[in-house]
Amino acid sequence: MANNLDAMRKIPPGIWLIRKIRGKDCSLKTHRYMVLLVTFIAYTSYHASRKPSSIVKSALDPEPNKTTNVHPWPIGSVFVKDEFLGENKDKFGYKGWEPFNGKDGTEKLGLIDVAFLACYSLGMFGAGHLGDTLDLRLFLTSGMIGSGIFVGLFGMGYFWNIHVFGFYLVMQMVAGLFQATGWPSVVAVIGNWFGKRKRGLIMGIWNAHTSVGNIIGSLIAASVLEYGWGWSFIAPGTFIAIAGILVFLFLAAYPEDIGFPCPNGPAARAEAVPRDVEAQTQNEGTVEEGKSTPIRDRSGARRSVGLLEACLIPGVIPFAFCLFFSKLVAYTFLYWLPFYLSQTDLRVQVFLTAEIGGEYMSVKSAGNLSTLFDVGGIVGGILAGHISDKLRARAITAASFMYAAIPSMLLYRLYGNLSRTVNIVLMMIAGLFINGPYALITTAVSADLGTHSSLRGDSRALATVTAIIDGTGSIGAALGPLLTGFLSTKGWDTVFVMLMLGALIAGLLLSRQVVVEINEKACKSMRSSSGQQSSEGNAMN
């Protein structure tokens, strides 16, 4: 009786209701699709709630005396450049918002970013261990609703007419702590449901939620900006809170909790054929209510792994420090690209004349245009995952992308102001190479290491390993925007030099793993060739 009550407690209410209505459970394949969809929506909402601060920067600290003309290109009014901006006013009539519109406004905006990201990165280490200890569904739900509340409270500062810097700093810090619950939890859930085969491609496609969230967050924040910058925070905050309710209703964090075996459990590892996505879905059927398979290795019976033990897993530390510099680059673009675009003089060739004139974009236009960086990031994440699966070489793929990001950023800085077309193309290429390794390390690499063969028995390390890697990376994510806030006052060339150095160091940190992977491939090639020669010799005899 107690076991039945425990099983009912673990089954999400939405799935329990679907079982009652249908009279039987869905197939394993259907549950996997549901897990992918729910976690995709969940982390999309996380990233959407992080974008408002980048969109409203130019409203809080507007640049004076900029003149713009209307050129609805390339898709109507989405990237439109707006009318004359009077002294210290943007297109919506903002004169800035105290305390961000003073001489030190840019630095304060940078401090707001670093406050959020510092608390996010520090909270990540504790959140990972809690994720492996507590019920992931409830833990994730609490984090999402808490994030929505404090993101919304930041925006309420507009309606409450608050001009105290400490208020905005505290709101961002608490929001960062709640946001730390997200990434370790969703990666752990995906790792619980999917085996290692084609994990890079599956998680590369799934990781598009990062860029989709950035795009949705940018569009939502920009679309309501004209009604007051506070709405740019309240709307995404409401979105993540609603998504948190969806997680509570429909997310099954562990296959065992609804009657399916874990693909990474000891029984699965003992089999000759791995229980991965393809092997399990070929012969799957439906599990009827009342006839479900015994629940083995339930989530509550597993032992969580400590931080030190997780750090000793081979490859965790090098990938963690690589992600430090990778996220430094990626999050600098995330938080400062709209601001950079609004300050950049984009030159366009006037049709049928040789005249070239300088034009500036509005806050809304810059926010919308910056989403194309994330479009390139979606392609980069999928491409990096697919290549790493084919090559069976995560480190080689990640390092190669980081090295390629260096010339792509240099070209974007040198030639991005020639025209909008050139800017868009180079921005998307930079997004592809910058976000590719970032996506690969935070998804497939983290899941691989979290189910490493060195782990004993039923020990759980998915959320803990993910937290160590992404938490270390998030320290870099906090440092990048902070440095940009100060370096941008000396010129954007200085900022781009910092970003290119970061990408170079990120690639170099994986050198040892790259050498190991190359040696492994060389040994396999030698063994296969010697085996072929031996078989040919036996055939001749």
> For 160, which DSSP code?
T
pLDDT 10s digit of each residue in the chain, 541 long?
A: 444 444 444 788 999 998 889 888 888 889 889 999 999 999 999 999 988 888 888 788 775 443 333 333 333 344 333 433 334 444 444 577 888 887 778 778 878 887 887 888 888 888 887 877 888 899 999 999 999 999 999 999 999 999 999 999 999 999 999 999 998 888 888 878 876 666 677 877 888 888 789 889 988 998 898 899 999 999 999 999 999 999 999 998 888 878 777 665 544 444 433 333 333 333 434 433 333 444 444 444 455 566 777 777 888 899 999 999 999 999 888 778 877 887 665 543 333 332 223 455 666 677 677 778 888 988 998 899 889 888 888 899 999 999 999 999 999 999 888 888 888 899 999 999 999 898 889 888 877 787 665 555 444 567 788 888 888 888 888 788 778 878 888 888 999 999 999 999 999 999 999 998 899 888 887 777 666 665 555 555 5
Query: What torsion do the CA atoms of 517, 321, 50, 439 make, to the nearest 10 degrees?
Result: 0
Distance CA 13, CA 3 (A): 18
Query: pLDDT value at position 127?
Result: 84
Distance CA 471, CA 124 (A): 5
| Residue among 326, 324, 360 at smallest CA distance from 342 | 360
Give the 3-state secondary structure of residue 304. strand
Distance CA 147, CA 237 (A): 7
| Residue among 127, 146, 124, 133 at smallest CA distance from 245 | 146
Element containing residue 358 per DSSP (H, E): strand 356-359
357 forms beta bridges with 348
| Residue among 459, 462, 453, 452 at smallest CA distance from 187 | 462
Q: Are 352 and 501 in contact (CB under 8 A)?
A: no
Give the 3-state secondary structure of residue 451. coil
Q: Which amino acid belongs to residue 131?
A: G
Backbone angles phi, psi at 315, to 5 degrees: 100, -15
**Cα end-to-end span (Å), the chain:** 68
Backbone angles phi, psi at 86, to 5 degrees: -65, 175
**Token pair belonging to 197:** 């085969």
Distance CA 390, CA 381 (A): 14
Q: Which amino acid belongs to residue 74?
A: P
Q: Are 62 and 85 in contact (CB under 8 A)?
A: yes
Q: Which amino acid belongs to residue 237?
A: G
* Token pair 């998504």 in the structure block, residue: 243
Give the 3-state secondary structure of residue 347. strand
Q: Which amino acid belongs to residue 239?
A: F
Give the 3-state secondary structure of residue 98. coil
Query: pLDDT value at position 302?
Result: 53
pTM: 0.68
Distance CA 164, CA 260 (A): 53
Distance CA 96, CA 90 (A): 8
Query: pLDDT value at position 294?
Result: 41
Query: What torsion do the CA atoms of 156, 157, 161, 162 make, to the nearest 10 degrees?
Result: 150
**Token pair belonging to 460:** 């759980």
288 forms beta bridges with 24
